[in-house]
Structure 1
Amino acid sequence: MNTRADTLTDLTAAASPQRYTRTAITLHWLIALLIIVNVALALSADSLPDDWARPVIDTHKSIGITVLGLALLRILWRVSHKPPPLPREFPSWEKIAAHLAHFVLYLLMIALPLSGWLHDSAWKDAATHPMHWFGLFQWPRIGYVMNLDPTLKESLHDRFGALHTWLGYALYALLAMHIGGALKHEWMDRKSVLTRMKP
């Protein structure tokens, strides 16, 4: 026998979207692709010949700035467009963990490129080596950081670099859990969450 609460839950579920919007899906997969490419570039930069290293690093920076912009756009879209609910069968702790993981993932998608931008702005040769977004136009450094005392700037360059590295490790770990969780629901629980985000 259905209770009033069950009926209200069923009505809410019926009124909720069952898939993400096309814009959300496009932003999700575009950001995911750019992050994967940037991870590959970051891991390969040290092993490349010297004449390859600079173009790879510049591309890495351009992708990072792009991810920052797209992540901010994704957050604005998420706030203004209700996402589809997780399956009702999921336990409460799993829903809370999923929401928390998404929050931290968004945080990292902002903090990681921002720390890289700060790291680049504190580079001692930043003034003589302009940064260009995919070679199309000059991208500004963070002026306040660029104009600091050289000694302080060098120290900040090292600290921002270390922060960028550790945030990168955190993102790798969270992405692995995100993908692993989605595949677990798909293959083991038989409660697909991937259908909500399929193009």
Structure 2
Amino acid sequence: MKTSPPIQTSPRARHVLPPSATTVADDVLKYTRVAMLLHWAIALLILANIALGLSAALLPTSVLSDTDARFVIDTHKSIGITVLGLAIARVLWRFTHRPPPLPAVFPGWEKTAAHAAHLALYALIFALPLTGWMHDSAWSAAATHPMHLFGLVPWPRLGFLMHLDPALKDQLHTQLGTLHTWCGYALYLVLALHIAGALKHQWIDRHPVLRRMLP
């Protein structure tokens, strides 16, 4: 009885992974879904807060009435506290779920720059809401204007600032407001560098780094 000759395959064909294996291989390089959710939630809220902060600072009273300005500022505060909570969750998740390593093809200096940018982002994501909270707590009218998250949940001010001597409190209120503003400018810069670096790797270097943070 004749037997069929063995099917010849090229060396290249023998190394092609099936679709399921490709999916598994890709998933190894991705962040977890929880990390993705926290990343994009924080990113969107930060962008919204940038828009609200700039609106309150730059729009004239003819466009933004006092009532509207108070609503914008209160929403800005609420989003900031929400970002602080999500950032804490993000750091705790990162400690228990190690992120995927950067692609091996990245030169050493780019890996160092990427890690430095991530550290700067984390530092500023914490610094902005904390300085904002301190700035608000040193507000002379804080005692008569209680803070509520999104108008619903009471949120405390920092007592060690509220109970200071009025003159010192006013001075700190101004200084903390300036610090909060400069932290915002620093975040704009680091965020722009972070986005530019990701787009460079994706579109110029042809490394699919964006897929690491996409479902």
- 1:23 corresponds in structure 2 to 34
The yes-or-no answer on 1:91 pairing with 2:103 is no
**How far apart are residue 100 of structure 1 and its match?**
1.0
Which one of 47, 68, 72 corresponds to residue 36 of structure 1?
47
The CA RMSD over aligned residues, in Å, is 1.1
**How far apart are residue 17 of structure 1 and its match?**
2.9
Matches within 5 A, 1:78-157: 78-157=94-173
For structure 1, the 5+ residue unaligned runs are 1-13
1:118-173 CA distance string (max 9 Å, x none): 00000000000001100112100001100000010000000100000000000000
- 2:21 corresponds in structure 1 to none
For structure 2, the 5+ residue unaligned runs are 1-24
Instruction: Say whether the 8 Å CA contact 1:64–1:113 is kept in structure 2.
Output: yes
Instruction: Say whether the 8 Å CA contact 1:34–1:63 is kept in structure 2.
Output: yes
Equivalenced residue count is: 185
Matches within 5 A, 1:154-165: 154-165=170-181
- 2:18 corresponds in structure 1 to none
CA distance in 2, matches of 1:43, 1:87: 37
- 3-state DSSP of counterpart to 2:98: coil
- 1:9 corresponds in structure 2 to none
- 3-state DSSP of counterpart to 1:87: coil
Q: TM-score, normalised by structure 1?
A: 0.91
- 2:202 corresponds in structure 1 to 186
Instruction: Say whether the 8 Å CA contact 1:71–1:110 is kept in structure 2.
Output: yes
Matches within 5 A, 1:58-77: 58-77=74-93
Counterpart of 2:147 in structure 1: which amino acid? M
CA distance in 2, matches of 1:158, 1:81: 40
CA distance in 2, matches of 1:49, 1:178: 36
CA distance in 2, matches of 1:178, 1:49: 36
CA distance in 2, matches of 1:58, 1:80: 34
- 3-state DSSP of counterpart to 1:132: strand
CA distance in 1, matches of 2:208, 2:187: 23
Q: TM-score, normalised by structure 2?
A: 0.84
- 2:5 corresponds in structure 1 to none
- 3-state DSSP of counterpart to 2:28: coil
Counterpart of 1:98 in structure 2: which amino acid? A
Counterpart of 2:37 in structure 1: which amino acid? T
**Percent sequence identity over matched residues?**
66
- 3-state DSSP of counterpart to 2:207: coil
**How far apart are residue 91 of structure 1 and its match?**
0.2
CA distance in 1, matches of 2:33, 2:155: 30
Instruction: Say whether the 8 Å CA contact 1:17–1:85 is kept in structure 2.
Output: no
Instruction: Say whether the 8 Å CA contact 1:122–1:146 is kept in structure 2.
Output: yes
- 3-state DSSP of counterpart to 1:127: helix
CA distance in 2, matches of 1:71, 1:102: 13
